Amino acid sequence: MQLLRKLGFPLSLIYALVVYIRNYLYDLGIFTSKSFDTRTICVGNLSVGGTGKTPMIEFLVANARAGTKLAILSRGYGRKSKGYLLAGEQTTVDQLGDEPYQICKKFPHVAVAVDAERQHGISELEKTVEPDLILLDDAFQHRKVRCDHYILLTSYSNLYVDDWYLPTGNLRDSKKEAKRAHIVVVTKCPAELDKKEEQYILKKLNPKAHQKVVFSYLDYNTSVKGGGKTYSLEELKGMEITLVTGIANPRPLVSFLEEQGINFEHKAYSDHHFFTEKEIEMFRSKKMVLTTEKDYVRLEGRLDNLFYLGVKHKFFGGGEEVLLKVLNTPKVKD
């Protein structure tokens, strides 16, 4: 795989050129961006997958000021539907995509919609839902919409400043576009990150005067759930467990379970993988299938031995307060 990525370096130069020209045309105003009356907050990254966007959206939803009428707009990656779709009681994970469906199930009071055309999706939400705030999931590179605030996520183990363009690296947008972020969140840090390392990362990121940088780590639940049952992590020790992941970077979860002294076999699949009947049959032969919450919504109802381990962001220092200030700041009217 690494060899193929190196061989793809000439393609990455072409990709980088296309990205540069596209952003330059937006900066000149030849390609135009549109603002909306509804306040919008974009959560995204410069790379492909693995930075914790869904837990960040969930954090924002859970901490929005009481009475705020919220809507979430996502592309709905991997869904089997087209165009604009507002989630309802009968909407399936295949129609919505795994991440929007997960949020929809967890926060039924929030309007969740999918549309690859973000301008159109926002317009539809304004007409049908009339929200106070729209959270745009994974939309940092979608410059057709000009948001009120941008939250940029970058993983501790693969900072965007150290990355390179696809297909050699994981960047899908220019590092220079980080300048549009109001907050940069360094995610998936070690739980014991020291101040010296924070300062080293800050120096590498070199934030602009208007930017705040916060640090977070993944805080996994102390128990797993599924089928109306709950087991503590302590109870998992000695059990026969198959870990199934269809996420961009399962390494933090694998490391966490190993640190807990839990033994397991790991079946790793690509991000947003839709499991085949053959794979489901294989999972049914296992004693316990443990997975992520995102994978759980794609497997729920198809297995009786299925459990998931939830996760959320925890922030160092005053990071949470920085995010909440942006989240609950009213829109400035022109």
Q: Which residues are annotated as a binding site for ATP?
A: 47-54
Other CB atoms within 10 Å distance of the CB of residue 326: 16
Sign of CA pseudo-dihedral 195, 199, 204, 206 = positive
Asked if residue 224 lies in contact with residue 292, where contact means CB atoms within 8 angstroms, the answer is no
Rounded CA gap, 308 and 318, in Å? 30
For tokens 């590179």, the residue is 141
Residues 122, 38 contacting (CB under 8 angstroms): yes
Residue pair 104/87 in contact by the 8 Å Cβ criterion: yes
Handedness of CA 92, 94, 100, 105 (dihedral sign): positive
Q: Distance from CA of residue 179 to its chain's centroid?
A: 20
Token look-up 């966007």 returns 53
CA distance 308 to 269: 16
- Chain centroid offset of residue 35 CA: 23
Rg value, the chain, Cα: 20
Mark the binding-site residues, compressed into ranges.
47-54
